[in-house]
Amino acid sequence: MRSVSSPPDHSQRQDEEQTGVEIATKVLGKSNRVGQAPFYTGDSPGFGAVFDICSPSQQPLRRHILLASKTSVSLSPEDRQYLHYKGVFSMPKRETWDALLRAYFHHVHPIVPVIDATTLPYLHANEGSQQCNLLLLWSIFYVAANASSNGLLLAMRSFNLANNNIQHVSAEVWRTEGYTSRKEMRDSMYSRAKVCFSTFNLYLCQSQSNGPFQCLHHNGGERDQTVLLQSALLLGFYSSEAGTYTQPWLWLGVAISTSQSMGLHRCSAAVCATSPIPVQQQCLWRRLWWICFYRDRWLSLTMGRPLRINKNDCNTAMPSADDMLSEFSALPESISASYIPEDLSQLAEYWVTMVELTRLLGDTLTLSYQPFGPSSSFRQVEGLEKEIVRFRLPETKVVAHSPLATFYLYHLQLHYQAFLITFYRPFITKSPEGIPESYRSQWQAHVRNQIEMAALQTNAVLDILVRERLLGFSGPMTPPLLVPAMHVHLLNCKSTDPLSRHLGLIKLELCMIVLEQMQHTHPSSSVFRGIFLEAMRHIFPNYVAQSTIPGPAIQESSPPQDASADDSVAGITIGENAIDALMDEESESIFNFWESLFSTQT
């Protein structure tokens, strides 16, 4: 048991006071001392208001400054022993290390570009003498292990592609590492990353002078905070167990709090133009902030949780594709060829489009999905609809460079169709305030048509993904993106018209087939499938579901018990409230469904 620290001595109090002096002189422009550790003073109210009094009103003050780095503090022997016990210093074999890094940059980075690519040489297994941040490394390994799947192997075989075309982590990798299943490997990596994270604000590095992975330094500077933010985003990217669906939500809270403490939400173009923060660092911060924003909006939708980020508090400039791509230009050609997708520039454009779509989703959730907020007016809804009409997705007719890029293009389409249903769904039975009475019936017909078209387009995209054998590239967001369309199909199953009812069932069954295929990788697919199956039986009491797509039978894939360990939904109770929310056309939103579902899981 650790002893309680003694009160700070006089010298410590002087150091802390001097820190305050340094902050003030930096903000007021009275110090030219070079700093290395970024610091955000915050806005008024707060101690930042003191600086406003001391500065001419016409002169904007710097809120992001660089302070002198503090003295590093070595890790205690007790903590080091504990980390050894938890396996933090037991690194995977070189082949596994490389395979996991490749999987990250192919299947995670295009969606959430968290990592500064210029650090790749230091993460590379060949560079044993270089600094290597273990917290970040184990976080990367965890998401990379999750990104691999039997379905991905099937997709690779379908396209007759070599291993260096579609990067994956085969079952041979986890067997070589001594694990009995893929699940055991990723759980082990998640555990090690969590242990590293619990040493909060520790910089873990590999030092040639002290031997492999023998020094862990407390730095207290930007690098620590950035790594904590990056790791929180990565650790919250997946939920690998049926009972841990709130795990991404909890990690996202850590990530958003960290990013706001760093002031990443207040990095406007004007601030960046005069900021002492290096341009490369600004690009990374911009990406990290918008990843937080992206995750906040889509997790709010798919989990029925409140928004954490108020856009009125933020003025960070929108990211560009160059914010992601500029880092890769400095990499040696050998490393780029080994780890980076060949069509990364195309994937970067898709990511920027996703961020733009996410802004519209955030406006929609704020306008129509706040339980105690004001009712949306017709003028507000009409204004947002005009923005949606101006929004443009990349042309699907453009030939993608690879199956990976093709999948991400269609995955962007799935996001868009789910968003459209989300936008129009509240107005099926309730018109916005202030709508002209003469236009009301026409408006509701327009709303229903848009919802039906979006649900139908979702099925069309799924059909393409199945025919082109791209489902193996599916990610953690793929199963939830099907739910809005499935909700529409389910409501059509209640139609009084027999033909409409039958067509609704056919469309719903296609989504169920796709969810079944994704069960091999994403446990949420099993949960969603079970919920809708119960709802279908509620409408069609004699309905019998049959397995239509067998699991991928590939020699390198994990044994059947591995898939069942991942996909099991045993112990998950589907309450009547969740079914009622699905069946209720009068409900204002699918949020009722998400809230009913996740209230049984927490």
Q: Which of 273, 291, 326 is the last residue of a domain?
A: 326
Residue 407 lies in a domain: yes
- Per DSSP, the three-state class of 489 is helix
Residue 4 lies in a domain: no
Q: Which of 326, 349, 379 is the last residue of a domain?
A: 326
The Cβ-side half-sphere exposure at 63, using a 13 Å CA radius, reads 22
Residue 467 lies in a domain: yes
Residues 591 and 495 reside in one and the same domain: yes
The DSSP secondary structure of 497-561, one letter per residue, reads SHHHHHHHHHHHHHHHHHHHHHTTT-HHHHHHHHHHHHHHHHHSTT------SPPP--TTSPPHH
Residues 296 and 348 reside in one and the same domain: no
Return the pLDDT at 562. 40
Residues 307 and 439 reside in one and the same domain: no
| Sign for the pseudo-dihedral over CA of 467, 472, 473, 479 | positive
CB 135 within 8 A of CB 196: yes
Write down the residue that tokens 């985003």 correspond to. 233
Give the CA-trace dihedral at 25, 30, 32, 35, to 10 degrees: 10
Residue 2 lies in a domain: no
Residues 26 and 117 reside in one and the same domain: no
Residues 394 and 467 reside in one and the same domain: yes
Residues 414 and 452 reside in one and the same domain: yes
Would you mind telling me the total number of residues written for the chain in this entry? 602
Domain encompassing residue 532: 341-554+568-599
Residues 292 and 383 reside in one and the same domain: no
DSSP symbol at 307: -
Residue 335 lies in a domain: no
Domain count, the chain: 3
Q: Which of 19, 42, 67 is the last residue of a domain?
A: 67
Residue 49 lies in a domain: yes
Given its phi and psi angles, is residue 394 left (phi above 0), alpha (psi -120 to 50 degrees) or beta? beta
Q: How is residue 37 written in tokens?
A: 């550790």
- Per DSSP, the three-state class of 433 is strand
The residue type at 329 = S
Return the pLDDT at 561. 35
The Cβ-side half-sphere exposure at 385, using a 13 Å CA radius, reads 17
Residues 536 and 586 reside in one and the same domain: yes
CB 590 within 8 A of CB 425: yes
Residues 424 and 279 reside in one and the same domain: no
210-218 long-range contacts (CB < 8 A, ≥24 apart) are 212/89, 212/128, 213/88, 213/89, 213/91, 213/132, 213/134, 215/74, 215/75, 216/74, 216/75, 216/79, 216/80, 216/83, 217/72, 217/73, 217/74, 217/75, 218/72, 218/73, 218/74, 218/75
Residue 40 lies in a domain: yes
What parts of the chain have a pLDDT lower than 70? 1-16, 18, 25, 27-36, 46-60, 69-74, 124-131, 148-169, 200-223, 239-245, 397-400, 546-602
The DSSP secondary structure of 21-75, one letter per residue, reads HHHHHHHTT-------EEEE--PSSSTHHHHHHHS-TTSPPPSEEEEPPPPPEEP
CB 70 within 8 A of CB 221: yes
CB 537 within 8 A of CB 543: yes
The residue type at 571 = G
The residue type at 56 = P
Quickly count: other Cβ atoms within 10 Å of residue 335's Cβ: 18
Residues 79 and 174 reside in one and the same domain: yes
Residues 437 and 525 reside in one and the same domain: yes
The residue type at 379 = R
Residue 336 lies in a domain: no
First and final C-alpha spacing in the chain: 32
* Closest residue by Cα to residue 24 from 58, 2, 57, 53: 53
Residues 240 and 226 reside in one and the same domain: yes
pTM given for the model: 0.84
Angstrom distance (rounded) from CA 410 to CA 57: 50
Q: Give 43's contacts (C-beta < 8 A, 6+ positions apart).
A: 63, 266
Return the pLDDT at 101. 92
How many degrees, rounded to 5, is the angle at CA 38 between CA 37 and CA 44?
140
